Amino acid sequence: MRLATWNINSVRLRINLVTDFLRAADIDVLCLQETKTEDAHFPAAALAEAGWAHHAYRGEKSYNGVAIISRLPLSEPGHMDWAGRGDCRHISARIDDGPLVHNFYVPAGGDVPDREANPKFGHKLDFISEMTGHFAANNPQNAILVGDLNIAPLAEDVWSTRQLRNVVSHTPVEREGLLRLIEDGGWHDVVRSHFGPEEILYSWWSYRARDWAASDRGRRLDHVWTSHDLADSIRSVSIERHLRGVEKPSDHVPTVIEL
């Protein structure tokens, strides 16, 4: 099975990019974040026509939104409203009687890394803390967690750990929180494990850069984890950097695993 995660930054705006990627990369299951569309307007018909007829999605107008798109049957669709919010930041489904997939869009957290001055940052920290408690109490088995988690936890996940140490997404409290979620929650970071501890890895480049490729100031905000029982089943991992350079791209690129 080939599975990918991608913050698409509007699935309706980029539906052709999505279907082209599904075909070219031979993807079985694609988890999208920031779909930015209400369920009534989700492009299910276009995806089914392309060959990916099984869907689970939760969306809201203009913001957030998550989806699991599959050419394999889906069962047990569900979601949780994390941190006491009703926003569409999580969905789960089981893939063809195989692994249960959790797809997350963790809050970005605003610009100020202070929960008292910036409630958005507090929301982000509470979200990660609640995820940690949930999975620590419900040890994942035969499970995969993916998504835009909006945190680059390691120095090798950013272009400059020194310059970004006080920038939201790479602050010590966020990094420690995400690593605690992996450890206490029973997950294995298969992307980092595949490439090794020293490989510089990015999955996001800001739209603000005049030439994103030349400056190459990226961050690894998009993650794929498996429960420990699936860790040895990973056959390949790739980060599809070239898709940042297409016409009207998302600022994120897909991360793909084969297991």
Structure tokens at 117: 């001055």
Is residue 158 a contact partner of residue 152, using CB atoms and an 8 Å limit?
A: yes
Q: Which residues contact 24 (CB under 8 A, 6 or more apart)?
A: none
Tally of domains in the chain: 1
Predicted local distance difference test score (pLDDT) of residue 91: 98
**Inter-CA distances, 62 with 9, 12, 15, 105, 139, Å:** 10, 11, 16, 14, 34
Q: Say which CATH number the domain at 64 has.
A: 3.60.10.10
pLDDT of residue 172: 98
Spell out the residues 6+ positions from residue 99 whose beta carbon is closer than 8 angstroms to its own.
142, 143, 144, 226, 230
In terms of residue numbers, what domain contains 221? 2-258
What's the pLDDT at 230? 98
Instruction: Please say whether the beta carbons of 104 and 88 come within 8 A.
Output: no
Pairwise CA distance, residues 256 & 148, whole Å: 13
Per-residue pLDDT, 118:
98
Mean pLDDT in consecutive groups of 10 residues from the start of the chain, 259 residues: 98 98 98 98 98 98 97 97 94 97 98 97 98 98 98 98 98 98 98 98 97 98 98 98 98 98
pLDDT computed for residue 170 by the predictor: 98
